[in-house]
Amino acid sequence: MADQAIGTVESSGGGAGAPALVTPGHAAEHAHNPGRPISWIGVTIVIVGSIVGGIAFVPHPTWWLFWVGVAIFVVGALVIAAARTMSTDWY
């Protein structure tokens, strides 16, 4: 892989064909976005529903437990949708 410059790119002021200058140590960083607590709660509910639904198939299918897992999953999906997690907690 070729060497890559780290830092911000600044124009050298030499016109359209002039190379850009790289200023070391001024890399643009993305702010950390941990999300909102309601989003984490919704995702946790979805994960729990998935685990319950998966456990329902070990060692043989237990259909009532599978449908309980599906119901938990749907509740978590509704929490995520109501919190607008995918549109609000994104970069």
Does the residue 13 lie in any domain? no
Summarize the confidence of residues 22-30 as an average pLDDT. Answer: 55
* DSSP assignment string, 9-74: EEE-SS-TTSPEEEETT----PPP----HHHHHHHHHHHHHHHHHHHTTSSS--HHHHHHHHHHHH
Does the residue 25 lie in any domain? no
pTM, entire model: 0.60
Is pLDDT at 8 greater than 60 in this prediction? no
Does the residue 74 lie in any domain? yes
- What is the number of domains present in the chain? 1
Please give the pLDDT value at position 16.
58
Mean pLDDT of the chain: 77
Q: Say which residue, 27 or 31, is predicted with more confidence.
A: 31
Give the domain range for residue 53: 37-88
Beta bridge partners of 9: 22
Please give the pLDDT value at position 86.
73
